[in-house]
Amino acid sequence: MHRVPFRIAILLLSVVSAGLLGLPANAQPLYPTPDPDVFYAPPADLAALQPGDVVRTRKIDTGPYVGTTGWQIAFRSTNSMNKPVMGITTVLLPNGVKNPPLVSYQALINSLGTQCNPSRSLFNGELQDAVGAMLPIGRGWAISLPDYLGPTSAYGAARLSGMMTLDSVKAVRKVSELGLGDSPVALAGYSGGGMATAWAAALQPTYAPDLKLAGVVAGGVPADLEEMAMALGFAPHPGFGLAFAAAMGLEREYPDRLPISDQLNENGLWFREFTHDACRRFLLFHGVFRNAEQMAASKSLMNSPEAHAVLRENSLRYFDGVPTAPMYLWQGRFDEMTFFPPVAEVADRYCKAGAKLDFHPYEIAEHMTTAVAGFVDAWNYVEGRFRGEPAPSNC
């Protein structure tokens, strides 16, 4: 299902470092094709709104998700440059349940195209964990699935994902038709979605201090993108398509600091064009026989301080924020996709800072096996918080 979700940066610095050698800047970031639906177009006065303010709403047909009523909400958020951007989230309400609790579920996206975001992929077959995302509905909870990569599908931009997640929740609670203004809120996600979730939890005390969270559950978190990037250079890897996509996604978010496209060779520029609107399966399939050596104009590696700085800025290990919401965190001890030591270090720091953390290592190596193993207890943890039970901690 999701075997190489967050080698997103392992090959990233192979491309990034080779792309910051001071050569003349010509190529600009290649952004995704904008969604033609005017609902996705930001208003001219977006900057006048506050983060989490509602731009517009609409009721939608929920299609295969029987027993639900659906809404989409456009809202004002913030990108990594502290500039206003518009976000979208999709809300599914369980029919017959009044004022249900709300789960913001950060789904697996791992893509570069706008059609890969949950607001589209819930209904076009691209959402990898659509079935799992519906489990909260079965418990009588409402679910919100934000397009947390932002309007440029900036895959790999973790800090952005956290802010988009928090603002999506604030917006959902402001839409009176949904009846969720007083509902308890939990955040949940795994792997890439776990990274967005964990970042939202860490940012909440400073970025959204007015938003109360009943609980947060996150697993398989890529907590140190720099360490992942250092693990592999130009060697071929079956996840190269996702790694290349992460490089392009971070360039979209940091165009002045990561001019990666400047240093792609002709083959790299072609592959960038070929994949700039692609979703996960397309990226994996077409990247499997490719590698960074084929794409970059230089083989010089790991020599860009700016690349390292951006990776650290998007690594939870180096962010000093501490969640104030109760948190359940789980990680495979031998997970080769998202490394265990950085997550354990983050958990230890949270505990020492007084966070209410329930951290569960699993003696498992395979990434998605850990997801299955941990989510049952994670959802039970959320249910306990919704019932108002004291949050456990094993610090």
* Range with lowest mean pLDDT among 6-10, 157-161, 220-224: 6-10
Confidence tier at 20 by pLDDT (50, 70, 90): very low
Q: Is 43 helix (H, G, I), strand (E, B) or coil?
A: coil
The angle subtended at Cα 130 by Cα 42 and Cα 218, nearest 5°, is 85
Q: Which of 127-136, 171-180, 193-202, 245-254 has the lowest mean pLDDT?
A: 127-136
Q: Which residues contact 199 (CB under 8 A, 6 or more apart)?
A: 158, 159, 161, 162, 165, 316, 319
Domain assignments of the chain as residue spans, ordered by start: 1-395
Q: How many CB atoms lie within 10 A of CB 342?
A: 22
The pLDDT of residue 382 is 98
pLDDT of residue 296: 82
CA angle 241, 224, 342 (to 5 degrees): 130
Tens of pLDDT, residue by residue over 51-81, are 999 999 999 999 889 999 999 999 999 999 9
- Given this model, what pLDDT does residue 231 score? 66
Rounded average pLDDT over 198-208? 98
Please report the pLDDT score of residue 232 as a whole number: 55
Cα–Cα distance measured from residue 13 to residue 332, given in angstroms and rounded to the nearest whole number? 24
Residues 6+ apart with CB under 8 A from 315: 158, 223, 224, 225, 226, 227, 342
Q: Distance of CA 140 to CAs 136, 187, 301, 372, Å? A: 7, 16, 51, 21
Residue with the bigger pLDDT between 289 and 320: it is: 320
Q: Which pLDDT tens digit goes with each residue over 356-372?
A: 999 999 998 888 888 88
Q: Which of 26-30, 249-253, 370-374 has the highest mean pLDDT?
A: 249-253
The mean of the pLDDT values for the chain is 89
pLDDT of residue 18: 41
- Considering the segment(s) 1-395 as one domain, its CATH architecture is 3-Layer(aba) Sandwich (3.40)
Helix pair angle (192-207, 158-174), 10° resolution: 70
pLDDT at 302: 53
pLDDT for 1 equals 37
Place of tokens 């080698």: 7
Residue 304: predicted pLDDT? 78
Provide the pLDDT for residue 6: 38
Q: Tell me what pLDDT residue 10 has.
A: 39
Q: Which whole number is the average pLDDT over 272-282? A: 93
Query: Residue 197 is which amino acid?
Result: T
How many other CB atoms are found less than 10 A from the CB of residue 37?
Answer: 13
Residues 6+ apart with CB under 8 A from 67: 94, 95, 137
Q: Residue 341: its pLDDT value, please? A: 92
The pLDDT score that the predictor gives to residue 132 is 74
Of residues 293 and 325, more confidently modeled? 325
Q: Is the pLDDT at 390 greater than 50, yes or no?
A: yes
Helix intervals (H) in 208-358 = 225-230, 240-253, 266-275, 280-287, 292-295, 305-313, 340-352
Q: What's the pLDDT tens digit per position in 136-192? A: 999 999 999 999 999 999 999 999 999 999 999 999 999 999 999 999 999 999 999
SS3 category, 227: helix
Of 7, 5, 68, 19, the closest CA to residue 307 belongs to 19
pLDDT > 50? residue 274: yes
Total-model pTM? 0.92
Quick check: 90 pLDDT over 70? yes
Q: Is the Cα torsion angle 40, 117, 224, 328 positive or negative in sign?
A: positive
pLDDT at 221: 94
* Residue 303 pLDDT level (bands cut at 50, 70, 90): low
